Structure 1
Amino acid sequence: MTGPAPVTTADPLVGRFRAMWTQLAGIGRDPGTGGYLRYAWSAAELTCREWFTTEAVRRGLAVRPDGNGNLWADWIPSGVDPAAPAVVTGSHFDSVPHGGGYDGPLGIVSALLAVDELRERGFTPARPVTVAAFVEEEGGRFGLACLGSRLLTGGVSAQYALALTDSDGVTVAEAMRAAGADPAAAGPDPDRLARVGVFVELHVEQGRALVDLGAPVGVASMIWPHGRWRLEFTGAGDHAGTTRMVDRRDPMLTCAHTVLAADAQARRLGAHATIGRVAVRPNATNAIPAQVHAWLDARAADDTALATLVEAVGAEAAARARVDGTAVAVVRESDSPPVAFDPDLTDRIATAVGAQLPGVVPVLPTAAGHDAGVLAGHVPTAMIFVRNPTGVSHAPNEHATDDDCAAGVRALAAALADLAGE
């Protein structure tokens, strides 16, 4: 959903937010589901990137892409050293399949509006302020989340990343070339990373903690460790009508058992396990599958619990495979360690935000991954969350009210002013 219709308000920032948000609202939106299809390097995501460049240039920001496809828009007032470590904020444009509109773009729109707010107050930063738009944060097209920030920081090699393929067999390298980017430039960028002095990412909350706390914004304390594992189930393809049940080696049975086992193990451990993507070969109604691939998304409060969860799911799958006469392999595709955001920076931002907005600013953990989590291993990093009244994310009902989004802009502006001041 794209939010409510414009309403009359005494707060001009609410109107400015709605005007900017409306410009993006229709890009990549599926009219049937109401969800978004903004995959990395796709026409929809490239249109969003063009919009970003136009809006940044209109504000006098110098926009430059890096070799990995991330965009950087620098606000460097006269007299400020352009090589000084910047206060960086931003997020991403890409979406999960049929995801919500706020996950990612809210952080970019809010960052541009925060620059406007600071200028309107007559604030001049003493160090560069940069708005960033990272590429392929969701991993919705090529399967590896936070691809742009991982490449930037050296968390993944260019050789590995460029060979990743989407569901149509298009590689990252081919997608970059089609968009006019040079894949030969991809890889770690220590010079650009050195120019990031601190990173603050604003994001819609992916959950309902702020709803329950009655707060429009909050600050993140940590990100749970999480990862993705590909479960490869192999059996024997055969005829659905003529093959006796006793003779079957059906990998779908093994997969189905594993889905239930993942759910049970996650509940036992107080963790999260999801199998939301499955690929079947030959994928015919009247044929027993020869192979089933399923992707496990696993998250837990600490590394030990996460490892226990994945090991337990793998053991259950292997045990069931022996019963079904099938085979199973568990392949790790990505993993992200726990991220404890810099406590001093978190407290500083919570204090700055609290001075700008009424009420207590909650500090809360999240189980959702972000580019901020990748950058946290290299630079001081923090996150600001905006209340999501539905509590839904990665789905069309993801939402935030215009009033809360305006509160988020003010919170981000307060954080940037505190960090970029004298």
Structure 2
Amino acid sequence: MWQQIARCILVLVGLLTIVKFATAERVRYDNYRVYQLEAKTPAQLAVINTLDGSSDALIFLNGVHSLNTKIHVLVAPHRVDDFLALQDRTGIAHKLLEADAQKSLDVETELVADPNRRSGDYTWREYHELDDTYAWLRSLAEKYPEQVSLFVAGKSYEGREILGVKIAYNTITDDEVVGATAKRGIFIEGGMHAREWISPATTTYIINELLTNTNKDVRKVAERYVWYVVPHSNPDGFVYTHTTNRLWRKTRTPYGNCFGADPNRNWDFHWNEVGSSSNPCSDTYAGPAAFSEIETRTLAEYISTLKGKLFLYLSFHSYSQLLLFPYGHTSELPSNYKNLKRVFDVAVAAVSKRYGTRYIGGNVYDAIYPAAGASLDWAYGKMEVPYSYCFELRPSGSALWSGFRLPANQIIPTGEEIMDSMLAMIKEIDALFA
């Protein structure tokens, strides 16, 4: 049986040709089919793992990690017959979800900000490109000079800045005393995975709320803590989703015939132990070494300067409506699991109050899948941030492959319910510190 499977894999991989997206021409997915796979046996999972990253003619939209989970893959039209023959021969359950992926992607062209609109008109009714957001961040430092300062949290492979905003009210510095404790910090990171546009949109929404919302609960948390917010942790990849390939996930570092590593598998905490790939063409490629990507390495260097000042680390991803906490490399629970779970319970209850949006989750390993080398684990394990969480934002997991294309009219509702959840989360943490 294994010899037969191996022959099938070799035939298919031998037929697949690597398509290099080296030009500025936008990648299209006309007549690409979207299939859902589900491995029921270790042998079937091994077959799917072999296909992941074998060619750009097969694009896996979620990780190939465990049995009995739904795996979505785009298949180029000229490889459908070979792909289906392999699934049938190996007994892998498969279902056609969409016959032409490009039709769904075309809808999204209406969601991007108009580059010709009035300068400074930055809203959350549309998705913005990188330069647009960076210009808005710089304008905040001019508009709120006493509260806002910019910082460069790192660099990208293509030379872009990883730009962040620090929000600190009053004249109190990070190290001065507020009541009985030093003024504590909160770090928010977004845009790690390039195609997850709702992530940076949510982080900028939070920035705006901290500066403009007059609600007393928002004002309390805005002014009590020092906030560090990085909307785009992977700027090269994000730009690439606008210019060339909407479904790009990784960084843009070249590795042979392939490009990029998964920046959320590249952090130096149990790196590449589980839930990642050593194949440079895979979307979950962990990189050749921990912190091989300049984006993760320089961002980590900046965060390291804040060690001892942060009590909360929030990472925003999409999608599935999950709230996650450490660990991703093991099912062993963190030492302060009871407190992490207590805050989790409050946060998921709060996120549902406004619109009824249901979040579930728990520790990464059990709640979603094994995944070592993620930023939230590094923040918890290396930087000793006691409360470290990842929000997998709207839509729910039932959205199938279309979840990366959340309509722009859901940006504000997403931001509102995440603000509700974050306020409840901070209030509960304060109670635990008391």
Identify the TM-score tier after normalising by the shorter chain.
0.3 to 0.5
TM-score, normalization by structure 1: 0.45
Scaled by the length of structure 2, the TM-score of the pair is: 0.44
Instruction: Give the structure, 1 or 2, with the largest relative contact order (CA under 8 Å, sep 6 or more).
Output: 1
Return the index of the structure with the highest Cα Rg.
1
